[in-house]
Amino acid sequence: MEIAWTIDYTGEPIDPDDVLGSIFLRSTDGEIVDTCVYLVDWFVVLIDGLLALRGGESLQTDLVSEPDPVVFLAAEGAAKVTYRGVSLTVCVSDLERAIRDSGRRLLDFVSSRSRTGTSLETWARMAEFLGSPGALKAE
């Protein structure tokens, strides 16, 4: 399982509340791609799905900025993540590792390029999950 992202970055300071880009979820059986989305929304949904799967539960949840739901189906020994008709089979531990690795890179990228004085409430859940609640701070 791999999670990659690109940011629509112009070189200007980034507003953490408005980080648009593309996200790519890859597994051995396919790829989910979503473009021109708020990346933090995707990570919050992925974290919610992971927490449900860890508890043996399935979850259907919506992205704030997209009309299509993301579905997490718990299954024996694996799980399925489905979005817009594409389903990926994933190991829950691999999903967690991918969320943590890619999420940390995103937090680091945005933190090092964000402008000061911006509301960071939208990142609180992601930063808390990643164990870096102070990664982004408004000054």
45-56 CB burial, b ≥16 within 10 A, e <16: bbbbbbebbeee
pLDDT tens string, the chain, 139 residues long: the values are 999 999 988 878 887 778 899 999 999 999 999 999 999 899 999 999 999 999 999 999 999 888 999 999 998 878 999 999 999 999 999 999 999 999 989 988 887 777 653 445 667 777 778 875 444 443 3
Q: What is the pTM of this model?
A: 0.87
Residue 139 belongs to some domain of the structure:
no
Q: Is position 28 within any domain?
A: yes
Q: How far apart are alpha carbons 24 and 2 in whole angstroms? A: 8
User: 129 near 95, Cβ under 8 Å?
Assistant: no
Residue 131 lies in a domain: no
In this structure, is residue 132 part of a structural domain? no
CATH number, domain of 45, equals: 3.30.2450
Tell me, yes or no, whether 130 lies in a domain.
no
Q: How many CA atoms lie within 13 A of 99 on its CB side?
A: 26
Residue 111's domain comprises 2-125
Number of domains in the chain: 1
The sign of the dihedral angle between the CA atoms of 68, 81, 109, 138 is positive
For residue 77, tell me if it sits in a domain. Answer: yes
The answer as to whether 133 is a domain residue is: no
